[in-house]
Amino acid sequence: MEAMRFHLEVEWDETAAPEATHRELSRILRYWAGGLRHCELTPGTTQKIYDSEYNEVGSWTIGH
């Protein structure tokens, strides 16, 4: 059996208040974890990640 990897990368403003950063990162993780059941989990699958203001802040990718 070949192993696969799930890679999540999120960028945020280092000058933002820690509470805001924690809140936004928690929201992103909940949203994307809940939506994974609708995604194809095969190598090469990728999706952009957006924050609550619909700014692109990263992506997730399935790889080897």
Q: Hey, where are the domains in the chain?
A: 5-63
State the Cα–Cα distance between residues 8 and 58, nearest whole angstrom: 8
pLDDT exceeds 90 at position 32: no
The span from the first CA to the last CA of the chain, in angstroms, equals 12
State the Cα–Cα distance between residues 7 and 2, nearest whole angstrom: 16
Comparing 3-12, 21-30, 33-42, the range with the smallest average pLDDT is: 33-42
Whole-number percent of the chain with pLDDT over 70: 100
pLDDT exceeds 80 at position 34: yes
pLDDT exceeds 80 at position 1: no
Residue 2 is predicted with a pLDDT of 82
Quote the pTM value.
0.80
